[in-house]
Amino acid sequence: MLLVCRFWIADGLVIRKTRIRNQSPQMFKRNCCVCLARESPDMARMANWLRAVIPKELRPIGYIEKLVRAKTGSRVAGGPFEGMRYTDDTVGSAYVPKLLGIYERELNGCIERACSLNFPVIVDVGAAEGYYAIGMALRNPEAKVVAFEMEAKGRSLMGQMARENQVSHQVEIRGRCEPEDLAAVLANHDRALVICDVEGYEDILLNPQASPQLGRCHLLVEMHDFIIPNITERISERFAPSHSVGRIWQEPRMRSDLPYRSLGLSLLPGRYLDWAVSEWRPVRMSWLWAVPKSGEGKTSDHHDS
């Protein structure tokens, strides 16, 4: 038991590191191992050895994911995409919060508002395995969803999600998104929703001078000031003439957000339950919700208390 507990601690140190999405999975794993090795060389060696001999389902991440998958039947249990069939893996983000339906729940009001506006086209840039792309297709059956994801694994999982949720006819899956790609998608639409999570590349993509069509789009953008300093202020200023821009702040997660109980969970230190619902954020994150001044809707503006 002591050996397994030490492994769980080591494994937790590795997996709570956040991957920059433009890193390959191999680079992410290597960087995590480097971080762990610097923090504790002995723990790193122990973690590497135990990962080689202990199946994933016996590690904390595997055990918690397996439990939640069994309890939910691999369907999102709550939130705006409740009932969505989900894949067994994710790309660059936490799996358990997505299955529970609490992933980025700060944005639920924006998602509900967006669904009420009946956009003809929804663009998801940095779509990963398709939490928003497939979820928005289900919630907006008349909309075309264009999903950009640079990782092949993400595109493959998203295609699987689209088939399992019977929305393949709605969802167009593409690779890397450059400003000209985004402009081309938006060119023939008077109204559109753009969801963007690209680990700092929003500084390049979201430029209304390069893509004037953005001036009439609703925008929901995860900000990455810890990668590109002052990016939130810069993008807010860019869109201030055309949009009402509000900032939404990440709220704390609690272990009580994990509603299931088991003997295995009871043996885990409480911080593992905290970690399971934490979304693995490196810092307190925020999003911009930008509404065209000429269109409908109001912004939310959540600030530090």
Exposed, middle or buried, 215 (CB in 10 Å: 0-12/13-18/19+)? Answer: middle
Query: For residue 262, what pLDDT band results from cuts at 50, 70 and 90?
Result: confident
6, pLDDT greater than 50: no
60 within 8 A of 272, measured Cβ to Cβ: yes
Per-residue model confidence (pLDDT) at position 304: 45
The mean-pLDDT minimum among 17-31, 162-176, 287-301 falls in 17-31
Query: For residue 302, what pLDDT band results from cuts at 50, 70 and 90?
Result: very low
31, pLDDT greater than 90: no
Per-residue model confidence (pLDDT) at position 87: 92
34, pLDDT greater than 70: no
Task: Give mean pLDDT, residues 12-36.
Answer: 40
Per-residue model confidence (pLDDT) at position 231: 94
Task: Give mean pLDDT, residues 190-218.
Answer: 92
**Whole-number Å distance between alpha carbons of 190 and 246:** 22
Query: For residue 44, what pLDDT band results from cuts at 50, 70 and 90?
Result: low
Query: For residue 130, what pLDDT band results from cuts at 50, 70 and 90?
Result: very high
- Which has more confidence, 173 or 49? 173
Task: Give mean pLDDT, residues 156-173.
Answer: 97
Task: Give mean pLDDT, residues 68-89.
Answer: 94
211, pLDDT greater than 70: yes
Per-residue model confidence (pLDDT) at position 75: 96
174, pLDDT greater than 60: yes
Mean of the per-residue pLDDT values of the chain: 82
Per-residue model confidence (pLDDT) at position 93: 84
Q: pTM (2 decimals)? A: 0.80
Query: For residue 303, what pLDDT band results from cuts at 50, 70 and 90?
Result: very low
**Whole-number Å distance between alpha carbons of 296 and 25:** 40
For the ranges 52-61, 157-166, 182-191, the maximum mean pLDDT occurs at 157-166
Per-residue model confidence (pLDDT) at position 221: 97
Query: For residue 61, what pLDDT band results from cuts at 50, 70 and 90?
Result: confident
Domains of the chain by start residue, with CATH = 1-54 (no CATH), 55-103+251-283 (no CATH), 104-250+285-292 (3.40.50.150)
- Which has more confidence, 32 or 111? 111
| Residue tagged 């504790």 (tokens) | 40
